[in-house]
Chains A and B, each alone.
Chain A
Amino acid sequence: MSSSIGTAPVVQEGVAAAPPGPWREFWGAFSANKGAMLGLAVIVLLLLVALLAPWIAPHAPDLTDSKAFLLPPAWQQGGSSTHLLGTDAIGRDILSRLMFGARLSLSIGIAVVAISAAAGIALGLVAGFFRGVLEIAIMRAMDVILTLPSLLLAIVIVAILGPGLLNAMLAVAVVVLPHYVRITRAAVISEISRDYVTAARLSGAGTLRLMFHEVLPNCAAPLIVQASLGVSTAILDAAALGFLGLGAQPPSPEWGTMLADAREFVLRAWWVVTFPGLAILAAVLAFNLLGDGLRDALDPKLKR
């Protein structure tokens, strides 16, 4: 960046006054955002809980305790310190289930984003590079997916493929696909006329190299933001499918599925309903905070 014309001391001075590197600059802007740091902290905590669940969970997630059906949380009358957040209708420890559920929800979020981002980026690159009929076909298809109410399409897909965690993830990935396609295509179109792309093309770079090596890294910022926000959407939608009985199937400790199980006890045991939802809310909120922070730090133009 810094111009290095002149004698050696001037160059050194230039280095000393050089702007911080891209990472430091990014971290400086990001860490100043309290909300984003809170989100990051919650995500790190959730990741740790998910990774360490077999060691830190007080009980096995599907171990039933026949002496303790619908036991209230420890601090309430009748609660016991062996089941901190109480037990569900067949005596399973809610805290342990939530900890194991974190594994499911985080993997769902990350897997869905990985699938949809990979497919979306590929389609977006194709649409942006090869204009014409191919682009029209891809973008019209994305319009169709985007127009249909998201959960409705996911529900219909799962209803047809059959309920289950994998199908639910696939359905959610299809539903969020258009965002990645649109972002990538828009970024590609704005980048492709830049001089550096022309230069690379003239020096003989093939289309694939242009796509992945030249253009894609320069489209990364909006995609990273979308991916972070996408994890929250994926967790929320997968939980909603679980709640409707279409996602992970019982006795899986997926948070949405736990809520579905708990529905009939809403009148008698507030804790079986409250904690799984709280976990979903915390995870979704954390990824949204992270996404907002990333957007502000990576792309000042988008800052509102």
Chain B
Amino acid sequence: MFRFILTRASLLVPTFFGMTLLAFFLIRLVPGDPIETLAGERGIDPVRHAVLLHEYGLDRPILTQYGIYIERVLHGDLGKSLITQAPVLDEFLSLFPATVELALCAVLFALLLGIPAGILAAVKRNSVFDHGVMAVSLTGYSMPIFWWGLLLILLFSVQLGWTPVSGRIAVEYYIEPVTGFLLIDSLLAGDYGAFWSALGHLVLPAIVLGTNTLAVIARMTRSAMLEVLGEDYIRTARAKGLAPLRVVGVHALRNALIPVVTVIGLQVGVLFTGAILTETIFSWPGVGKWMIEAIGRRDYPVLQGGMLLLGAIVMVVNVGVDLAYGFINPRIRLAR
């Protein structure tokens, strides 16, 4: 097992260095040098320009510069935002809980709907219900979520007036951040009004962000369930006279959920992609909206740092899923 963990974890190193290379050289593609970018439209006189180039080490060979960059990154220094002058890492960390809260609720929504729908579709294979679930999930999988968000706003916020259009909580509430998750923090503070407000703000974005994941989970649960239901031990369980509910819900589900768990883990990247769009539509103050705003302001350190951080998080989660899978299923870890 230890060997298995080591082999998988060692794959992180080249991928992470690859990411730093990409982040470092992509930013070099920006027309002009970073000093000109810093100076913006005001321009800068040539003498000062040369001094600053030297100060930032930008007159050194490119590999030396990359070395300096790596050293900084490994010390947690991702540079400063050109606009706010705050360290990129600090800004990221202050906004990240909002994105995580949204993503977790989206996954929860996808699981609560997707797993039962997948199970039922598998059990009632080729029924109207099965075809319906498959059609809906393919639609959900094909859904342009930025449009889906607008439609839901149109229906629930504009026509019915049930949910707020944007933001994370109504302005009249202030909750001292403890965990960074408003749902938990408001309960910790005992402020139920704030809790309901936060929940109301969260419902639509979570549904929008969870739609693709829901479709994937429903399809995956169905196909995993179909495979497991054909196994001998299920026939044995049925032959013993166990209640159908027990056969499906306990014997089959346990094994069918293993691939589903993996799929959920691999959805992290998809969720971050979706969060960028969802946060933009609902003005949700998370890292996705932060990065989109950085584009408009040409705030390259934020783009560079944000990309590296999100990539690193996806990478670590993927390896974590891999390890968890090997833990659940010994055949995987013995395969190599």
Binding site for B on A (CB under 8 A): 35, 140-141, 143-145, 147-153, 155-157, 159-161, 232, 236, 239-240, 243-244, 246, 256, 259, 263, 266-267, 270, 273-274, 276-277, 280-281, 284-285, 288-289, 292, 304
Contacts and interface: CB of A to CB of B under 8 A. Distances in A.
Interface in B239-282: 269-270, 272-273, 276-277, 280
Given A152-B310, A153-B307, A267 B158 contact: yes
Range, interface on chain B = 35 or more
SS class, residues of chain A in contact with chain B: helix
B182 to A, nearest CB: 24
A160 B311 contact: no
A32 to B, nearest CB: 15
A280 B18 contact: no
Contacts of B276: 149, 151-152, 155, 244
B318 interface: yes
A277 B144 contact: yes
Q: Pick from A145, A160, A232, A292 the residue with the most CB of B within 10 Å.
A: A160
Contact of B22 (A144, A244, A270): A144
A240 B158 contact: no
A149 B153 contact: no
Contacts of B148: 277
Interface string B132-145: 00000011011110
The 6 nearest A-B residue pairs measured at CB: A277-B147, A144-B18, A149-B272, A151-B273, A285-B142, A284-B142
Interface of B: 14-15, 18-19, 21-22, 26-27, 29-30, 138-139, 141-144, 146-148, 150-151, 153-154, 158, 223, 226, 269-270, 272-273, 276-277, 280, 291-292, 294-295, 300, 303-304, 306-307, 310-311, 314-315, 318
5 contacts: A147-B314, A151-B277, A246-B295, A266-B154, A288-B138
Given A152-B273, A156-B26, A140 B150 contact: no
Nearest to A148: B311
A244 B273 contact: no
Contacts of A153: 307
B264 to A, nearest CB: 16
A149 B138 contact: no
B166 to A, nearest CB: 11
Nearest to B21: A144
A182 B314 CA distance: 19
Given A147-B269, A149-B314, A155-B276, A285 B138 contact: yes
A285 B273 CA distance: 19
A259 B146 contact: yes
B63 to A, nearest CB: 17
Given A246-B295, A285-B142, 9 more contacts: A147-B269, A147-B311, A147-B314, A155-B295, A156-B304, A259-B147, A263-B150, A266-B158, A288-B142
